[in-house]
Amino acid sequence: MRMRRRRPTEPSGEPGRDIARLLDDARALLREAGVTPAELSAVGISAPGPLDRARGAVVGPPNLPGWRDVPLRDALAEGLGLPVHLENDANAAALAEWRFGAGRGFDDLVYLTMSTGIGAGLVLGGELYTGSFGNAGELGHLPIEWDGELCACGQRGCLEAYVGGAAWTRRLRACTPAGSRVAALAGDSAVKPEHVVAAAGEGDPFACEEIERFNRYLVRGLTALVFTFAPQAIVLGTIVAAAGEGLCLDPVRTDLAARVWPLLGRGLVVRAAELGERLPELAGLCVAFPEA
């Protein structure tokens, strides 16, 4: 049985109140489904990182004000009377794409998604690689330009500062020419990467230059990843999935193949994420049943 309930992220500033609302939602969903908590085996939570995995705590994600060191796993386990598993959302997404999406069949996989920031996860040797403290795979903060653009993390020149959705959006708002096709597509709303993707699809020169810049910086990051992990596959979400083969995937494959050793590039699969709207629920499922 599959049921879903979705609500925007609207933190109240008080984690206790937010958790009570999560519990209310979960119980209401169970009632709708006619299922009692006793009939469930496990609960999986895909939460924004960084996390303290050992304690099952959310440490302090930038988009959840007031959430500092919140023991989310135990609070939900107590509220529901069930075993709860917690994983950061990027790792959970990597697991979901690996088990159900574009990463099926690969043992060594790098997943990157360019939404607000960059979410990334590593599946190595057929399992999620979390590193010694559980926060491996922060690939968005690979430096790709010494002393480059300031990143939200406080460092300069991170991959995220060039190809992350929020950083690119900021840049577009500053540099999109008035009267360009991108500005026309945005209309009264603020310019976003999706307007650039649409305008580039129509051949608009400014949009095409922006996409080329995006691809160029993405390849810098991917080159480091290919030399480090020698993955079988790289799965790319959001902006790349939206831009598709002609604008993004083809040029990225070609440029990447030219920059890595043939031994590492031969047979390397670079493809768009597949799960789209189904990602959140499948990510939670993968977290609930990590060994399945």
Piece in contact with Zn ion (CB under 5 A), picked from 9-17, 61-69, 135-143, 220-228: 135-143
- Choices 8-16, 25-33, 145-153, 233-241 (CB under 5 A): range interacting with Zn ion: 145-153
3-class state of residue 279 by DSSP: helix
Residue choice 53, 73, 85, 141 for contact with Zn ion (CB under 5 A):
141
Asked if 204 and 188 touch (Cβ cutoff 8 Å), the reply is: no
Least distance from Zn ion to the Cβ atom of residue 159, Å: 8
Size of the site for Zn ion (CB under 5 A): 5
Q: CB under 5 A: which stretch of 120-128, 144-152, 201-209, 236-244 binds Zn ion?
A: 144-152
Nearer to Zn ion, 141 or 195 (CB): 141
Which tokens in the block code for residue 257?
A: 């193949």
Nearer to Zn ion, 162 or 206 (CB): 162
- 122 by DSSP, 3-state: which? strand
Task: Give 169 or 180: the residue with its C-beta nearer to Zn ion.
Answer: 169
- The CB-of-123 to Zn ion minimum distance in angstroms stands at 23
- At closest approach, how far in Å is the CB of 149 from Zn ion? 10
- Return the residues of window 150-189 that contact Zn ion according to CB under 5 A: 151, 153, 155, 158
Long-range contact set of residues 250-257: C-beta below 8 Å, sequence gap at least 24? 251/212, 251/215, 252/215, 252/218, 252/219, 252/222, 255/215, 255/216, 255/219, 256/219, 256/222, 256/223, 256/226
Handedness of CA 29, 62, 103, 249 (dihedral sign): positive
CB of 121 to Zn ion, least distance (A): 17
Specify the stretch interacting with Zn ion by CB under 5 A; choose among 14-22, 80-88, 133-141, 256-264. 133-141
Nearer to Zn ion, 156 or 278 (CB): 156
In the bound state with Zn ion, the residue whose beta carbon lies nearer, of 18 and 160, is 160
Nearer to Zn ion, 155 or 228 (CB): 155
In 3-state terms the chain splits into helix, strand, coil percentages (rounded to 5) of 50, 15, 40
Q: Provide DSSP, 83-118.
A: -EEEEEHHHHHHHHHHHHSTTTT-SSEEEEEESSSE
Q: Report, in Å, the least distance between residue 146 CB and Zn ion.
A: 13
Q: How far is the CB of 140 from Zn ion (least distance, A)?
A: 6
Helical spans, DSSP H, in 202-246? 205-229, 238-244
Concatenated DSSP letters for 40-63? ---EEEEE-S-EETTTTEE---TT
**Beta bridge partners of residue 87, listed in sequence order:** 46
Kindly state the smallest distance separating residue 133's Cβ from Zn ion, in Å: 18
Nearer to Zn ion, 110 or 247 (CB): 110
Q: Which positions touch Zn ion (CB under 5 A)?
A: 141, 151, 153, 155, 158
